[in-house]
Amino acid sequence: MRNSFFRQVFWNRFRANRFAMAGALLIVALFLVSLLAPFITPYGPDELDLYHVLMPPSAAHWFGTDDLGRDVLTRVIYGARISLKVGFVAVGIAVAIGTVIGLVSGYYSGHLDNILMRVVDIMLCFPTFFLILAVIAFLEQSIWYIMIIIGLTGWMGVARLVRAEVLSLRERDYVMAVRALGACDARIIFRHILPNALSPVLVSATLGVAGAILTESALSFLGIGVPPPTPSWGNILTAGKEYIEFAWWLTLYPGLAITVTVLAYYLVGEGIRDALDPRLQR
């Protein structure tokens, strides 16, 4: 009953934020479009039409065609699948690692906390994007490597957020009462502390998806991300940069797709943060 009440309060606050709702609707629309791609467009993502190369937007090809006659709209839609997959898998890895480290560090404190936080500080000293570049340069081009590496280099912020929450929660009366009743550390951490420490993790994960999409797009744009001919927004941009002077549609539409998607996730993340924190209510 209590959980249902808090969910209703959260939903009412989130729904009152028009920008957050607009972002959520954009994300839902993106999911539906990418899921229903074969029914939306009659073309395949790698279907060549050498008789209609570099055609501007028209009734037959709404976003025009590229240098191989492939339909740009189709490739942008299928590229959304790659971007969403990278975003969610990479953030899932980062959240899992960061949550576990934050829980252990905050609950046990002391020397273990010092060691784990120094590891976090060392990881934060490295420019994340250049670290990803250095690692990927030694590996085979694969979407799975990209997702894993982005996840393994993006958990530090989550760890610090969870640690801060756990440091506060472990001193609460209900945690001390459960500990006095003889509950083991694992039960206290995962049954009583973790559910109450998930609010900042949810916000961080939402914003992290946007960051992962940007990172994947940047890597693909540089030619070390998702290997062609698999369409991703980054490598569509790369293919279009050589023709930008007279084939503007090759860079405009994938660029807009990245911008709108990242903006939508940021709006949703800010909306979740406002809904979870009553102090931010106006």
Return the CATH number at 271.
1.10.3720.10
Domain contains 81: no
Asked if the structure places residue 188 within a domain, the reply is yes
Residue 1 banded pLDDT, cuts 50, 70, 90: very low
Q: What total number of domains does the chain contain?
A: 1
Domain encompassing residue 193: 14-41+87-280
Give the number of other CB atoms < 10 A from CB of residue 227. 14
Question: What pLDDT digit, counting tens, does each position of 113-129 carry?
Answer: 899 999 998 888 877 77
Residue 9 lies in a domain: no
Asked, for residue 57, whether it belongs to a domain, the answer is no
Q: 80-110: per-residue pLDDT in tens?
A: 888 888 888 999 999 999 999 999 998 887 8
**104: in domain:** yes
- CA distances, 103 to each of 21, 220, 245, 282 (Å): 31, 34, 52, 32
Does 78 reside within a domain?
no
Distance CA 208, CA 178 (A): 34
pLDDT for residue 3: 58
pLDDT, residue 203, reads: 85
Asked if residue 74 is part of any domain, the answer here is no
Crossing angle between the packed helical segments 72-108 and 18-35, to the nearest 10 degrees: 120
Paired tokens of 204? 């961080």
* pLDDT, tens digit (0-9, with 9 covering 90-100), for 72-85: 999 999 988 888 88
Residue 143's identity, in one-letter code, is I
Residue 50 included in any domain: no
Question: What does the alpha-carbon distance between residue 264 and residue 281 come to, in Å, rounded to a whole number?
Answer: 21
